Amino acid sequence: MRLGSRGGTVYDIVIGLGLLSSVPRMLNASFPSGKMFLITDANVSRRYGRKFHRSLVLAGAQAVLFEVPAGEDSKNHKVAHSLQTRLLENGVHRDSLVIALGGGVVGDLAGYVAATILRGVKYIHIPTTLLAQVDSSIGGKVGINHPMGKNLIGAFHQPSAVFIDPGVLRTLSAMEFRNGLAEVVKIAAALDEDFFEQLERRATRLKKENSTGLADIIKTAVGLKAGIVERDEKEHGIRKVLNLGHTLGHAIEAATKYTVPHGQAVAMGMVAEAMIARKMGLLKHKDYVRLVKLLACFRLPVRFPRSIDKRRFLEALALDKKSDSDGTGFVLLKSIGHSVIGVDVPRAFIEALL
């Protein structure tokens, strides 16, 4: 699949079971002279990273491996700065290539390092979580967190290629797999009723990380996201539909001090936002029920958290709204597969949730 944006960037998204083992040879053929910096986290390194690095070197590449601790805590200025220092110490050049091998954390962090070092070097992403395969690796949003909030520092920096191997999901924990399914449901609910129906039909089988047919689901989700990014790379308009469930989801994450994983917060956010859409007369009850049923079938949480820090929740919501240029924020479902952006939700509806 090829993604081309109006901004002029064009790159390949390659999807295939067992693809990971052929990537070192492919990379060495496409970047024969430059240095490669492979960035991964400790978990992924143990399972795939070290072997991948050995294969790169065996294929003839000049490749250096950097490991960061696994988890969201690595997505900060300190870790980014230390990676930048190590790249400079190891002779990074404008022709160098950064390779992100890992989930959304590694992708956002390594992509940010690639975007900022020497005013930007090429990078490729090999996403290893379902969330990263269907969502974060597509679209060029890279960045790190700031003490004032998530993803507040970053850039749009498109990768040169994305290589997706659904086979690596076999080692993913069930919880991380479910987090990815929340983003798959989001893409289907926001954009495509046929895809949503397909998920409903195959929900029971899809619960397993190694299920057959998963590659097709990933392909469809990636195609839908890529289609939106092509139309609106920098999120001035239509790309905002992909924030379905995220306005309330981000506030839930902040109010629970990030103890609720992102995918789960997005699931709760989607349901709460659908409830608001229903109360505002935008969404039919039957569509609300379909959304709740599918998320519940994937064992994702569908109830708003019982005890939540109300002050933090409202503060996070206000910050989220401020960072949105038109200040209106909400993406709401009109029906399954169709959503509207920029809806101003009266405060009473938010208060009712709390």
Footprint on this chain of ligand NAD (rule: CB under 6 A): 41, 43-44, 47, 70-72, 75, 102-106, 108, 128-129, 131-132, 135-136, 139, 141, 150-151, 168, 171-172, 176, 179, 262
| Catalytic site residue from 225, 230, 233, 273 | 225
Q: Does the annotation count 46 as an active-site position? A: no
Q: Does the annotation count 225 as an active-site position? A: yes
Q: Does the annotation count 141 as an active-site position? A: yes
In whole angstroms, give the CA distance from residue 111 to residue 88. 16
Q: Residue 72: which of 131, 157, 117, 9 has the closest Cα?
A: 131
Q: Does the annotation count 119 as an active-site position? A: yes
| Catalytic site residue from 150, 178, 240, 246 | 246
* 243's tokens: 């924030």
| CB 169 to ligand NAD: min, Å | 6
Q: Does the annotation count 72 as an active-site position? A: no
> Cβ-closest residue to ligand NAD?
104
CB-nearer residue toward ligand NAD: 145 or 287: 145
For every residue of 65-109, DSSP letters joined together read: EEEE-SSGGGSSHHHHHHHHHHHHHTT--TT-EEEEEESHHHHHH
Give the angle 102-107-113 at the CA atoms, nearest 5°: 125
| CB 181 to ligand NAD: min, Å | 11
Q: Residue 91: which of 29, 149, 37, 171 has the closest Cα?
A: 37
| CB 107 to ligand NAD: min, Å | 6
| CB 41 to ligand NAD: min, Å | 5
Q: Kindly state the helix (H) or strand (E) to which residue 130 belongs, with its residue range.
A: helix 130-131
CB-nearer residue toward ligand NAD: 75 or 290: 75
In whole angstroms, give the CA distance from residue 288 to residue 284. 7
CB-nearer residue toward ligand NAD: 34 or 102: 102
In whole angstroms, give the CA distance from residue 198 to residue 24. 34
Catalytic residues: 119, 141, 183, 225, 235, 239, 243, 246, 250, 262
